[in-house]
Structure 1
Amino acid sequence: MKNYPKIALVASFFGLWMDSYFSHQIQIILGFLLIFSFGILHGANDLLLIKNIDDKNKAKSPIKILIYYVFVVLTGVILFYIIPQFALLLFIVVSSYHFGEQQWQHLKQDFPKIVVLTFQFLYGFIILLLLFNFHTAQVQNIIFKITSVTIPIQYFSLTLQFAIPVFITISAYIFLKEDKWKKKIFLELFFMLLFVVLFKSSSLIWGFALYFVLWHSIPSIIDQITYLNGSFSIKYFYEYCKAAGIYWFISIAGIAMIYILFREEQLFNALFFSFLAAITFPHALVIMRMFKGKVKTS
């Protein structure tokens, strides 16, 4: 779907418009509904992707693949319980790269690996830092709930001030090296300005939900369906949802249990992001393998 960025752009401005009419509480509810729908769905078909990535996996039983996947998820949960500081840092690093890889997946065809990895990581990292910098007190509180460590608020802005010049330098290198990436560079910089407005105007959950769903999860679903079927269509989307249904339901049930046990907002947010991190680890690995397979066959 080549026109999807236009759809996401319109939907983002619609989200900004909704922001001015809905209370903070309504934004939180709508934000979680978005995350629980497309956000969770985009990682619910990982087992099907694993089975289709290479011939070795096709020979493995679904139960064996499920056990491996659950093992990685549980490892993430245990990390958050035993060494939450390291687990949270790992989550930020993995998520940053995962966001950047989704947006710049074809870059590896034209540039050295170290340039691509650094650029993809910085793209996602800056997006997270922009979100953090507009909601520093709330993010600081969530980090404390997870790790029992208080991050000085100025660290968020200092990290952003360091990351942006490095990102711009690599962007300039890509811009000057390959003409075909010039339009993409301008477009993504424009989108980043949109994210600045989005994060500044919205609550933490609403701003994150709009980015996570519109700019990451839905494009990822489109890529996954295209990888599995060779193209995207409503029929294939229905089949994708049908295949992912049971795993999506299990994830939602897990989140619902967390909410029932821990209803206090900041504590729930902390546990929710910890849960999101645990399922992000294996998902990011699966998508990385998927993109690697796409490059080999392209």
Structure 2
Amino acid sequence: MLIFTGILSFGIVHGANDVILLSKNLDKPNLNTIKLILMYSLMVVLSAVFFYFFPLIALIFFVLYSSYHFGEQQWTLFEKKSEKLHSLYFGYGSLIFSLLFLFNQNYVSFIINDITGVQLLSIHFLLYFLSSLLIFLIGLFSSYKLIIEQLLIQLVLLFVLCFMFYFSDLMLSFSVFFVFWHSIPSIIEQTKYIYGKNNFESIFKYFKKAFLYWIISIIGLGLFFYVLKDDQNLLISVFFSFLAAITLPHTLVIFKIKIK
């Protein structure tokens, strides 16, 4: 329960203010908030529909764009932004996913099979890890001078993640990474972007603004959980499908903000 609480609180809240972020970044100031909400909601619905009808393709896309998003968030915490870092962002995020999958093969295979009907083997996870590691190393060496100041701390954090992934189960590993490595730093960064500073007052305003969108998301997920309450295995698959549906528009919003 504590695991889901972390994801459903900080995890969803960190994407709940996307409309506000988008309106601040907007190139078309005449587009009002209602239209933005409708556009954003439509994108979430279309993502969910795509996931329902084409689960395998949707899952692959989810892993790809989430990999870039996680890497982008991690490596821009210190305000280092450059077009040369795109391969590093993707490689790092992909490496995180591959480690998470590699150390939890049975559970991950079960979830993927439940969502897509495809059964993965150990060799698939190993190949994914090796290819991700290669992309990460290429990105690392090609942008070495740009990230030298944060390289040591990032590698230490990566080692800590590897240690945790190896000794923890899938849900705990993903939750700790998603909440503490990704969501909370993102909330702090977004608060500064919206209000120009990070203090108790601005963070309180951030959560206050996010509350309505967060409630709507929780209600929607709660309805799914209620309908599927008698099938505990399916609940996990629905949970990750829900995260995938809301991640795409959030990833696009954050990308738009960070390229400026």
What is the TM-score normalised by the length of structure 2? 0.94
Q: Which amino acid aligns with 2:214?
A: W
What is the CA-CA distance between 1:265 and the residue it aligns to?
Answer: 3.0
For the pair 1:108 / 2:57, whether they are aligned, the reply is: no
CA distances 1:168-221 after superposition (whole Å, capped 9, x unpaired): 23313333x34xx22311211111110011111212111111010001001100
Aligned counterpart for 2:38 among listed residues 67, 86, 111: 67
SS in 2 for 1:151: coil
For 2:115, the equivalent position in structure 1 comes to 146
SS at 1:59 equivalent: coil
Matched, 1:96 2:63: no
Q: AA paired with 2:63? A: I
- Contact 1:137/1:153 (8 A) holds in 2: no
| 1:127 aligns to 2:96 (yes or no) | yes
Tell me the residue number matched to 1:158. Answer: 127
Confirm or deny that 1:256 pairs with 2:225. no
The alignment yields a C-alpha RMSD, in angstroms, of: 1.4
Please tell me whether residue 38 in structure 1 is matched to residue 10 in structure 2.
yes
Instruction: Please say if 1:205 is aligned against 2:171.
Output: yes
Work out whether residues 140 and 153 of structure 1, in 8 Å CA contact, stay in contact via their aligned partners in 2.
no
Q: Does residue 229 of structure 1 match 2:195?
A: yes
Structure 1 residue ranges (4+ consecutive) displaced by more than 6 angstroms after TM superposition: none
Relative to structure 2, which stretch is displaced further, 153-162 or 85-94?
153-162
Distance 1:168 1:190 in 2: 16
Alignment-mate amino acid for residue 119 of structure 2: T
> What SS does the corresponding residue of 1:171 show, helix, strand or coil?
helix
- Whether 1:277 and 2:257 are equivalent positions in the alignment is no
Partner of 2:26: 54
Structure 2: distance between partners of 1:71 and 1:117? 28
Distance 1:278 1:54 in 2: 23
One-letter identity of the residue aligned with 2:152: F
Q: Tell me, in whole angstroms, the C-alpha distance in 2 between the residues paired with 1:90 and 1:188.
A: 26
Q: What SS does the corresponding residue of 1:108 show, helix, strand or coil? A: coil
In structure 1, the residue matched to 2:52 is: 81
8 Å Cα contact 2:90-2:136 kept in structure 1: no
Q: Which amino acid aligns with 2:51?
A: F
* Partner of residue 242, structure 1: 208
1:78 to partner: Cα distance: 0.9
User: SS where residue 143 of structure 2 aligns?
Assistant: helix
Task: Quote how far apart the aligned CAs of 1:40 are.
Answer: 0.5
Q: Please give the alpha-carbon distance, in whole angstroms, between the structure 2 residues aligned to 1:198 and 1:96.
A: 19
Q: Which amino acid aligns with 2:46?
A: T
Q: Quick one: distance in 1 between partners of 2:3 and 2:187?
A: 19
For residue 151 of structure 2, what is the aligned residue in structure 1? 185
SS in 2 for 1:64: helix
Contact 1:141 1:266 in 2 (8 A): no
Deviations along 1:149-173, whole A, 9 cap, x unmatched?
1122221112112221332233133
Distance 1:63 1:157 in 2: 46
Contiguous gaps of at least 5 residues in structure 1? 1-28, 294-298
- One-letter amino acid of the structure 2 residue matched with residue 165 of structure 1: L
Give the letter aligned to residue 88 of structure 1. L
Which residue is equivalent to 2:232?
A: 265
Show the counterpart of 1:217.
183
Give 1:8's aligned residue. Answer: none
Q: Determine the C-alpha separation between the residues in 2 that align with 1:156 and 1:171.
A: 22
Aligned residues: 257
Distance 1:145 1:36 in 2: 22
Q: Decide whether the 8 Å contact of 2:14 with 2:186 is kept in 1.
A: yes
Task: Supply the distance in 2 between the matched residues of 1:47 and 1:72 (Cα, whole angstroms).
Answer: 12
